Amino acid sequence: MHFCHSYYDNNSLVDSSACPLNRKQLNSHFYARPQEPVAMKSSVEFTSKLPDVGTTIFSVIGQLSARHNAINLSQGAPNFPCDPLLVEEVSRAMREGHNQYAPMTGWPALKEALAAKVAALYGQHYDPGTEVLISGSASQGIYMAIAALVNAGDEVIFFEPAFDSYAPVVRLQGGTPVGLKLQFPDYAINWDELRAALTPRTRMIIINTPHNPSAQVLTPEDLAQLAALTRGTDIVVLSDEVYEHIVFDGRAHCGMATHPELAQRSVIVSSFGKTFHVTGWRVGYCLAPAELMQELIKVHQFMMYAADTPMQIGFAHYLQHAQNYLSLPSFYQQKRDRLVKLLQDSPFKLLPCAGSFFVLASYGHFSDEPDSEMVKRLIVEHGVATIPLSAFYMDGTDNNVIRLSFAKDDVTLERGAEALCRVKG
């Protein structure tokens, strides 16, 4: 066996004869001009589970926007900093050595704080030990709820326009996604249409309130309708409530935990990232009756085992001060109102916004171009990025509507609005 003995002599690398590379070769190896990568072609034949699914619209718009340095009114992610106190809580947890796995279902103090918050706000009591689960993002919570509770042949009803992950995740489980269209321009649920869509194969109904992208919210009357339609069935309600604290004009958040009957059949998913302006931290949570939660945990343990420990500890401390989330409605309502005012002289018609990060803008009164083309034109010609609403439909329904995000700092809102006001009506 040969060993390579190297040492520095007068600032030069000296190699023994056993070394496979001399200095010239080493320099050539490490500092050579990189070659263009060549794509590898797989020799494996397989059948895609999602043959018609490409890159998400958010990535496509993001790449096009980056090429044109466009103002970002497209992404539902705040571009302003979170509270430094939250960063300090997470940093302290890291410094104190909390850098290994958390308990599988979540940091106990965080689960207890969540249960206390839900009881205080919505009147529903969840057992922190068996009915609260900390997930690696709300997206993971949605995925594992569908994976745990939907079987091949089951039907899952949801309402379009819809967050783009619902249908693909249902299909991955062998289920059938059934999209019911909310009608432009009010985007309210037609409960008679839902009643007609129910079949013996209906296993789950996905609710999203406040709704992305329409910015509408459910009311107590809506919850009564949903309870009546599911009463006496084994239908599970998967309730996506990631914008639970972003509800405007004095409205109350009407989630499933506010209705005791619906809470008994619901999996509620929410997001710390959306609530506290830290979408990159990827931590969410799920609430469900113990029998349903047991099935989610079975999936969760094999998906990621446990969410990030320091973030969980930071959130546990941060939730002790209710004002950290109770202040959000007024905070975001000011941003909504600011963008609406800035766009009052634009050619776009803004639709009512009751909650979430978003407001819809209609342009069919001055242009009939497809919304995807409108969005591209806004990026290329006006330097502002938005999202086409057709991306939220399985069949690409186009009502000449685009989505704007106001989860941005004032400078971004002003520059974005200025660009949109330059569009010719």
Sequence-distant contacts of 45-53: CB under 8 A, at least 24 apart: 49/171, 49/172, 50/168, 50/171, 50/172, 53/168
- Residue 51 inside a domain? The answer is no
One domain, residues 308 and 188: yes
Whole-number pLDDT of residue 15: 44
Q: Residue 34's pLDDT band (boundaries 50, 70, 90)?
A: low
One domain, residues 233 and 347: no
* pLDDT above 50 (res 18): no
Q: Which residue intervals of 319-397 are DSSP H helices?
A: 323-326, 328-342, 371-382
Of 407, 404, 408, nearest to 343 (Cα)?
A: 404
Q: Is the preceding peptide bond at 108 cis, omega within 30 degrees of 0?
A: no
Whole-number pLDDT of residue 198: 98
Q: How many domains does the chain have?
A: 3
Q: Residue 17's pLDDT band (boundaries 50, 70, 90)?
A: very low
* pLDDT above 90 (res 14): no
One domain, residues 92 and 137: yes
Q: Say which residues have a Cβ less than 8 Å from residue 285's Cβ, sequence separation at least 6.
A: 106, 114, 132, 133, 134, 135, 141, 269, 270, 271, 272
Q: What is the CA radius of gyration of the chain?
A: 25
Q: Residue 173's pLDDT band (boundaries 50, 70, 90)?
A: very high
- Residue 153 inside a domain? The answer is yes
pLDDT for 398-410, tens place per residue?
A: 999 999 999 999 9
Whole-number pLDDT of residue 339: 98
| CATH number of residue 264's parent domain | 3.40.640.10
- As a whole number, mean pLDDT of residues 52-70 equals 87
- Residue 195 inside a domain? The answer is yes
One domain, residues 18 and 68: no
* pLDDT above 80 (res 26): no
Range of the domain at 123: 84-320
Rounded to two decimals, the pTM is 0.90
- Residue 289 inside a domain? The answer is yes
Whole-number pLDDT of residue 54: 78
- φ, ψ (nearest 5 deg) of residue 281: -80, -20
One domain, residues 307 and 345: no
Whole-number pLDDT of residue 57: 76
Tokens of 24: 């010239």
pLDDT for 211-247, tens place per residue?
A: 999 999 999 999 999 999 999 999 999 999 999 999 9
* pLDDT above 70 (res 200): yes
